[in-house]
Amino acid sequence: APGPERVSVLLPTYNERDNLPLVVWLLARTFRDSGIDFEIIIVDDGSPDGTQEVAQQLEKIYGSDKILLRPRAKKMGLGTAYIHGMKYATGNFIVIMDADLSHHPKFIPEFIRKQKEGNFDIVSGTRYKGNGGVYGWDLKRKLISRGANFLTQVLLRPGASDLTGSFRLYRKEVLQKLMEKCVSKGYVFQMEMIVRARQLGFTIGEVPISFVDRVYGESKLGGNEIVSFLKGLLTLFATT
């Protein structure tokens, strides 16, 4: 099978001014060291902290063929950020990750290797397998994440060990198909993608990753998000 000609990274941002230069630098270095052609699409949801100005600077430094700032006027959520970013993606593979440095770009070449190895439609980074792990999470977050994952596994039997994670590589056309099918918002969206992928018969490979909890800034997983996650899970369970 031919290797990936180009990888498009979709980075949804909201108040990531401090993290963005570092994550972009790490991405660029990883891709260059691995000889992989890439572009980084930054979808900023009207961050008040100056994230967009930083992104414009990065566009100048790395070139507008490598960094594409495609902002939106206000906070509209993860699922729609991906759909928006996809419109501009020219790569045949798409990587979805968080911009807050909880996902280390060094795993991307492993995702690509894994993809080639099994010709997978999706490669998912998993925190619950092999030497993947979570650093800097307090017990409550760990329990909630494991609990959410366990609930999902039991209710939906999706056949991937990390559903709530958002560090994945997709074939572009597979992601497009999934986007059309997915209805969830926020964190449940990540899960729905894997569940629908199984329904549609797409293949999923897994790579163990370590997940480092946000370097700067507050985690965005508030109490109300946990509630909406559970609601979304039940909706998904009812509709699949």
Q: What is the pLDDT of residues 164-205, one digit of tens each?
A: 567 899 999 999 999 888 777 666 777 788 888 988 999 999
Instruction: Answer yes or no: is 232 within a domain.
Output: yes
What share of the chain has pLDDT > 70, as a percent?
A: 69
- How many domains are there within the chain? 1
User: Which pLDDT score, from 0 to 100, does residue 54 have?
Assistant: 94
User: Which pLDDT score, from 0 to 100, does residue 194 have?
Assistant: 82
pLDDT band at 216 (very low <50, low <70, confident <90, very high): very low
Instruction: Answer yes or no: is 15 within a domain.
Output: yes
| Cα distances (Å, whole numbers) of residue 15 to 6, 10, 48, 101, 194 | 28, 16, 7, 13, 27
Instruction: Answer yes or no: is 1 within a domain.
Output: no
Instruction: Answer yes or no: is 2 within a domain.
Output: no
Judged on CB neighbours under 10 Å (0-12, 13-18, 19+), 35 is: exposed
Nearest to 16 by CA among 65, 62, 89, 69: 69
**What does the alpha-carbon distance between residue 146 and residue 74 come to, in Å, rounded to a whole number?**
31
Nearest to 174 by CA among 123, 228, 107, 238: 123
- Structure confidence by residue, pLDDT tens digits, 88-144: 999 999 999 988 877 888 899 999 999 999 999 999 988 755 555 555 556 666 666
Kindly tell me if the per-residue pLDDT of 217 is higher than 70: no
pTM > 0.85: no
User: Which pLDDT score, from 0 to 100, does residue 233 have?
Assistant: 64
- Structure confidence by residue, pLDDT tens digits, 50-94: 999 999 999 999 999 999 999 999 888 777 888 999 999 999 999
Nearest to 232 by CA among 151, 158, 137, 169: 151
* AA identity, residue 135: Y
What CATH number did the domain enclosing 13 receive?
3.90.550.10
Contact 104, 98 (CB under 8 A): no
Instruction: Answer yes or no: is 62 within a domain.
Output: yes
E strand or H helix at 191: helix 188-199
Identify the domain containing residue 36 by its residue range: 7-239
Instruction: Answer yes or no: is 138 within a domain.
Output: yes
Instruction: Answer yes or no: is 92 within a domain.
Output: yes
Instruction: Answer yes or no: is 21 within a domain.
Output: yes
User: Which pLDDT score, from 0 to 100, does residue 36 have?
Assistant: 95
